[in-house]
Amino acid sequence: MKNKIILVTVILWVFISLNIAAQNRGQDLARYVDPFWGAGEDWWTGGHTFAGVTVPFGMVKLGPDCNKKNNNSGYDRNGKVHGFSHVHVSGSGGNPKYGNILVMATAGDIKVTDYGSDRGNEASKPGLFSVDYTSYDIHAEFSVTHSVGMHRYRFNKGGKSNILFDLGSYLTWVDDEWTQEFVGSEIQFISDRELQGHSRIRKGWGKGDAYTVYFYAITDTPASETGTWKSGKINRGSQSEADTGEPTGGFLTFDTKKGQVVQMKVGISFLGAEKARANVLNEVDHWDFDKVSSKAYGLWNKELNKIKVQQENKEYREIFYSALYHALMQPTNRTGENPKWTSNKPFYDDFFCIWDTFRATHPLFTLIDADRQTDMVNTLLEIYQYEGYMPDARSGFSTGITQGGSNADVLIADAFVKGLKGIDYNLALEAMIKNAEVPPGGDEDKYGRAGIPEYTTLGYLAPYRKRAGSRTMEYVFNDYCISLVAKGLGEKQIAEKYLRRSNNWKSLWNPTIEDEGAKGFIIPRNIDGSWQSNWDLHHVGSLNDWLYEGNSWEYSLYVPHNVAELIHYCGGPDRFEQRLDTFFTKKTVSTNPYTSGYYNVSNEPSFLTTLLYNYIGKPWKSAAVTRKILHESFRTGIDGLPGNDDSGSMSAWYLFHSIGFYPVAGTDIYLISSPTNQRSEISISPEKNITIIAKKANSENRYIQSCRFNGKPYNRSWFRHSDISNGAVIEFEMGDKPSTWASDGELPPSISYKY
């Protein structure tokens, strides 16, 4: 009897313990993730998300590089696989970056060019990627820790089986001034199981300086033969190739039995090969591939559990967690790997680019991982201290080009108004003012703001300057961000100055221009104050045009800090409503983000626009427009995204709207959207949650009928960060008919202070 009691007690205890453990672990949300989601390779429509294996914000992103001219993330559903390389970005456009330390398994004779393989049975889940190299009858699996790629190859045929390291390989696409260029590489065998070396590449999108990726690799099986190559010439038995500016490589050949498995760990570092080796020793002190894989899976689950959702629609749920997964890949955590200076503080790289990510991605981090967002902001300030300017784009430890304004300013303001601790805001204000006042010089594309003297005297940039229109509109909002921080720090004069400058959008506003019933647009203005005639309001520009990735219709609506004044300029609420109606209905979705149109879902300048109806008391129209885009433009699968994910920017946009609100980045305002999840629970700390309940929400029931905020009726289509920063419960009642909810409540604030 006593034994029985003990047994029952033990069983109960075990059961309770397991249950607690399971709760601590959270739900298995990683199973909803499709790593291939949005990985489409099409230049115009592909999402270019990273489909390989990585851990959250992981330094090693081990993924397949396919075809000769590779996709930005390396992946391409078509053609051959040329191997798995260890460094990638997710969702970027333009000319690719990275694709370093490519490893390929082959069978038979060594080939050091054209060694690519046909492939089959590609499968991936967080922490595991598997594929058959069908040309060689090899089954390949890949997993990863933060700094180490783990490889497991099953050589089905047996006989001579090889692992190649191609240090001359890197991602390219079109050949232009941005294309990555090879600088050098080096390889060194240490034993019949170990090798190390580096690959040095420059440029790629952003035209960054040369960066060096070091590696150290160790197999669990001794090679029967090793060798190297340089510029395609094989040197059998050679132990090393020095860096003479030529592509080098090395191979290990194994005499394998049929079906023999060979495993390998490849550590990566930006400091040195020995550091890469230390990364291997620190992170994977065993040969249990499955342990690595399940640990990575667990890390993802831990992150994904920061937003637990109830979503009846399985496809929506899959998109949600696939989007969250891809939003948590970048900026890359490269703490302790900075080759430019020493610092014991957290350090992030691959801000790619803040122009994309300030709008939704970073506000998402602020909500679910404020400490990480703090670290990212502090990284920007550290870069300012060491290099003179905060970056807008940065990868390979090198600041790249600035697409528009100095949008790091928005991250600062966003952190400040949301009360992130541990940031030196006086230093941050100094860094913002540097952007606003000190001309970046040279080609003016790298730092701060181009044409600042002109902007400060005229109030706008004249159209001879690239991206003069979009830059002006962004400078205006950047100025508002400075004003916000200065005000908060008690710097009244500075705050006044930049608040004045935040009116500068009016200097490009021509009230006489009409199109489709809308009157008043921003159009190019010459240096003498005259206006450019016959401007095509529908023309979507690129890097060399007046507007960057947008048209006049879009940028004429980009005054996030003062929509009230914008409405006034547009002729009042009714005219503004008509204008938005036209904007969204004339050509709602463009499959080619670079062609003309009114509204482009896939470009960031319009990210906020779908909720502008909130500012005229018609949130149901915001809901209608936003839901239409969510349902029409986002799908499951590889083509699930309507364009580049831009480091999780599109993903974050989707996530916020699925939950039911969206940030006016740089301010403390969130606009209420149209929740699609029946329930979303955002963990802002171990003790605090924001719970959004959307009763009856489904694809039909898109309109908010009523709202309770922490139990009290709520009749405003917006709230402040302070309303949710200690946790909150927001309950919506959804319906399929537009309602008058929030139509007579206080409108979302525009500039809330004056001097």
110 vs 161: CA distance, rounded Å: 9
Tell me how far CA of residue 755 lies from CA of 57, 483, 748, in angstroms. Answer: 42, 11, 20
- Minimum distance, C-beta of residue 486 to its own copies, in the bound complex (Å): 22
Question: Which of 183, 163, 182, 61 minimizes the C-alpha distance to 115?
Answer: 163
Range list of β-strands (E), 566-697: 661-663, 669-672, 679-683, 689-695
- If binding is defined by CB under 8 A, does position 198 make contact with its own copies? yes
- Minimum distance, C-beta of residue 60 to its own copies, in the bound complex (Å): 16
276 or 567, CB closer to its own copies? 276
Q: Which stretch binds its own copies (CB under 8 A): 40-48, 237-245, 348-356, 557-565?
A: 237-245
Q: Which of 52, 64, 83, 184 binds its own copies (CB under 8 A)?
A: 184
Q: Which of 102, 273, 383, 616 binds its own copies (CB under 8 A)?
A: 273
- If binding is defined by CB under 8 A, does position 149 make contact with its own copies? no
Burial of 594 (0-12, 13-18, 19+ CB in 10 A): middle
Please report how the helices 408-417 and 468-488 are oriented relative to each other, as an axis angle in degrees rounded to 10. 30
- If binding is defined by CB under 8 A, does position 182 make contact with its own copies? yes
64 or 204, CB closer to its own copies? 204
- If binding is defined by CB under 8 A, does position 187 make contact with its own copies? yes
- If binding is defined by CB under 8 A, does position 275 make contact with its own copies? yes
With contact defined as beta carbons under 8 Å apart, do 643 and 650 qualify?
yes
- If binding is defined by CB under 8 A, does position 192 make contact with its own copies? no
Phi/psi class of residue 717: alpha, beta or left (left: φ > 0; alpha: ψ in -120 to 50)? alpha
- Minimum distance, C-beta of residue 231 to its own copies, in the bound complex (Å): 12
468 or 623, CB closer to its own copies? 468
Q: Which stretch binds its own copies (CB under 8 A): 184-192, 537-545, 658-666, 711-719?
A: 184-192
Q: Which of 70, 162, 256, 269 binds its own copies (CB under 8 A)?
A: 269
- If binding is defined by CB under 8 A, does position 437 make contact with its own copies? no
Q: Which of 132, 350, 444, 545 binds its own copies (CB under 8 A)?
A: 444
Q: Residue 185 corresponds to which tokens in the numbers above?
A: 């590489």
**How open is the CA angle 49-53-58, to the nearest 5 degrees?**
85
- If binding is defined by CB under 8 A, does position 195 make contact with its own copies? no
Number of helices and strands in the chain (H, E): 18, 31
- Minimum distance, C-beta of residue 385 to its own copies, in the bound complex (Å): 12
Report residue 379 CA to chain centroid gap: 16
- If binding is defined by CB under 8 A, does position 212 make contact with its own copies? yes
Q: What share of the chain is helix, strand, coil (3-state, %, to 5)?
A: 30, 25, 45
Q: Which of 229, 389, 661, 732 binds its own copies (CB under 8 A)?
A: 389
Q: Residue 184 corresponds to which tokens in the numbers above?
A: 């050098």
- Minimum distance, C-beta of residue 191 to its own copies, in the bound complex (Å): 11
- If binding is defined by CB under 8 A, does position 342 make contact with its own copies? yes
200 or 702, CB closer to its own copies? 200
Q: Residue 191 corresponds to which tokens in the numbers above?
A: 């034993």
- If binding is defined by CB under 8 A, does position 334 make contact with its own copies? no
Q: Which of 18, 19, 118, 181 binds its own copies (CB under 8 A)?
A: 181
- Minimum distance, C-beta of residue 404 to its own copies, in the bound complex (Å): 17
336 or 593, CB closer to its own copies? 336
636 vs 638: CA distance, rounded Å: 7
31 vs 611: CA distance, rounded Å: 32
**How many residues bind its own copies, per CB under 8 A?**
48
3-state secondary structure 570-606: CCCHHHHHHHHHHHHHCCCCCCCCCCCCCCCCCCHHH
Q: Residue 207 corresponds to which tokens in the numbers above?
A: 């035209």
- If binding is defined by CB under 8 A, does position 430 make contact with its own copies? no
Q: Which of 439, 488, 573, 727 binds its own copies (CB under 8 A)?
A: 439
Q: Which stretch binds its own copies (CB under 8 A): 338-346, 410-418, 469-477, 522-530?
A: 338-346
Tell me how far CA of residue 155 lies from CA of 114, 146, 163, 180, 254, in angstroms. Answer: 19, 27, 11, 33, 10
- How crowded is the C-beta side of 132, counted as CA atoms within 13 Å? 8
**Chain positions contacting its own copies, by CB under 8 A:** 181-184, 186-188, 190, 197-198, 200, 202, 209-210, 212, 240-245, 269, 271-275, 277-278, 336, 339-344, 388-389, 438-444, 447-448, 453
